[in-house]
Amino acid sequence: MLVPQNDLKLIICLLKQLCRMCVSRCLQCVGVSLLPLAVVCMLSNILLLLPELNVHFLLEGHVTREATWATGLWGSGCVVLVTARRLFQSSRTTGCCAFRTQMLCQVVYSCVCLLVSGFCCLVSATGLSQGPLCLFHTTSGPTWGVPLQPVPNRHAGYLYNRTMWTGVCLEPRGVVQWNAVLFSVMGGASGLQTVLCGVSILNTALGLILGHGFCHNKVSPVSV
């Protein structure tokens, strides 16, 4: 049995409205989920810049290099917050043209967010594997450096040898555990941001392809 043309258009319109609702709801969920992750990244990076909660290490340049890049502040922090706000706003957009325009914008925002959060995750993993900048004993006396980083043909790094966590770094106190925990938290949060941004890109692409575009076609009554 053939479906009348007007009924077919009505069905397509309803399906596209349903698709738009699903896309908008997904954008809203992603936007809300990105907010706490961005705050976690910002707080983690701030604390990484303040070993022992003391600012003089930062002022003297005795802070781990990956922490001073502040990718958790400008990348997984500020950029992700802006993206989350845009995603939440676009989830309430109505109208065919406005909706598709917002979807195009969200693809751009989500791609940028994906890049910066991925970069922050990579920097966090590097900072975690290399170990902190600290004051340690050498043959020429105490000096600042990165004594726990992996050394070829000697050791694979402090992450695989817990005995190196204490007794190597003299200052700041407890910097090994401090960096390990905060870099792990920031890396995990930025990694989740990367996944959510990927979901957002797929979602907005789906909205562009299947979003409503036929609803402007009026359904006319069938002539008898």
Q: What are the residue boundaries of the structural domains of the chain, listed by start?
A: 7-210
Better-scored residue on pLDDT, 162 or 3: 162
pLDDT, tens digit (0-9, with 9 covering 90-100), for 55-89 = 999 999 999 999 999 999 999 999 999 988 888 77
pLDDT at 76: 93
CB 58 within 8 A of CB 67: no
> Does the pLDDT at position 1 exceed 70?
no
Mean pLDDT of the chain: 82
Better-scored residue on pLDDT, 221 or 14: 14
Strands 169-171 and 143-145, bridge-based pairing: unpaired
- For the ranges 92-96, 115-119, 140-144, the maximum mean pLDDT occurs at 115-119
Q: What is the arrangement of strands in the sheet containing 169-171, beginning at the earlier edge strand?
A: 143-145, 134-136, 169-171
CB 181 within 8 A of CB 18: no
Helices (H), the chain: 5-48, 56-59, 65-68, 80-90, 96-130, 175-210
CB 200 within 8 A of CB 110: yes
Band of residue 95 on the pLDDT scale cut at 50, 70, 90: low
Residues forming beta bridges with residue 145, ordered by sequence position: 134
Strands 143-145 and 134-136, bridge-based pairing: antiparallel
pTM of whole model > 0.85? no
